[in-house]
Every structure is written in C-alpha cells, then in structure tokens.
Amino acid sequence: MSFGVRMRVSGEYACFTRPEMKVERVSYDVMTPSAARGILECVHWKPAIRWVVDRITVLKPIRFQSVRRNELSSKVSGQEAARVATGRGGRLETFIEDDRQQRVSLLLTDVDYIIDAHFEMTDRAGPEDNPGKHLDIFTRRLAKGQSFQHPVLGCREFSATDFGPVSGDLSPVDDSLRGERDLGWMLYDIDHANGRAPCFFRAKLVDGVLHVPPRAEVGLVS
C-alpha cells in the first residue's frame, strides 16, 4: 500500500548533471527522479519507508544559462584514502589554490517544480512504524518548512530558495511546455543493491509533466 504526497520546490539555479558529460557539467532539461527523491528525504526519511517518485511537473519555461565555475582538476584516489585509513601513510588534503581549474557549466535557471510521490513501508519497519505516522510527520514538517538538510537542486551549491506544500491555484502550463518533448535517456536512480549500478529510463515531457515509470516496468536499463 502506498501513501501519496505533493510538494513544491523552486530555486534560482539547478544542475541535474548528465552522466555522459565527463568534464564540464551539463544539466538535464528537467529534475531527475533521484534528485526528487533526495529532496523528499531532506524533509523526512527513516529506514522504515522508501520514497517513490510518480511524476514531476515543470511550472516555468526551461531555460539554460552558461556559467564559469572554479572546480578541482583532480580528486583524491581511493587507494590513497585506503592507505591513510589503515595508517600506512599518505596525505589526503587538496588545496584549491594549487588545483584550481575553470570549467563551463550549463545550468537551469529560475526553476519551479511540483513533485508527486508516495512512500512504501520497507522490511525494516518496526512495530511502532505505521503509514499514518510517517505521513503526518512529513506533512507537518513540510508545512513548517522543516528539513534535516536544506533541499538542493542537483548540485549542493544550488539550494532551493523555497519549498513547501502545493497550495492555491496553479497557472496554466506555459506555451513552451505544451505538447510532447523527448528528453532522451534520463537517470532514474542508483541501484545500491546491485553494485551501485545506474539505471536509466526513456523520459518524455508531456504538457510540462514528466511521468516516472515504476522501477520494475519494462524500459528501464542499466
């Protein structure tokens, strides 16, 4: 049995990075299901529940902006981290002044979304866990603007400027979002039970709405 919720989230910038872009960040046109799940978990998450995103509604026109950002040109290797963790020497520090590199990022700007989702009880639910309890907790925390971590729109530097329940009448879908738009293969989520394998699905935006298929539905690939 599932229990549905709706929340609205907006921000000045967002970057839902396409994994096929190896060096410079390029955002998907729309928030990914895994990013939406992360936002829900910022408001409320326990091992007893599992969030499942049903659809994502785009409320504002999709606009991109190209910016230059200072990033690290390299990262600490896993082998080096293992050496330090086991006391075999090595150093982990990285200094941005010595390893800075300017890269171009293609970001989304002025974004506004509605996330429709539900949660399912997991096998880790205890006797004290019940759906009504977790639904009430999420609803109360969302209404108060509470979160364990502030929701972000893809990258951590792009914090949501506003998030909360969906209220009032929504504006008609923007003309630029009408019709059907093929978004190509989009990241669905990471399968942590299968060696952190990435899973993808064929995404389509129909009149501003991205319908997310169930995990077990045919069409998901990894």
Tell me if the domain spanning 3-70+103-217 has CATH number 1.10.8.80: no
pLDDT by residue (tens digit) across 75-85?
Answer: 777 777 788 78
pTM of the model: 0.86
- pLDDT confidence band for 110 (50 / 70 / 90): very high
Mean pLDDT confidence for 165-194: 91
Q: Is the pLDDT of residue 94 over 60?
A: yes
SS (H, E, C) the chain: CCEEEEEEEEEEEECCECCCCCCCCEECCCCCHHHHHHHHHHHCCCCCEEEEEEEEEECCCCCEEEEEEEEECCCCCHHHHHHHHCCCCCCCCCCHHHHEEEEEEEEEEEEEEEEEEEEEECCCCCCCCCHHHHHHHHHHHHHHCCCCCCCECCCCCCECCEEECCCCCCCCCCHHHCCEEEEEEEEEEEEHHHCCEEEEEEEEEECCEEECCCCCCCCCEC
In the chain, what are the domain boundaries? 3-70+103-217
For the chain, the average pLDDT equals 90
Q: Is the pLDDT of residue 2 over 60?
A: no
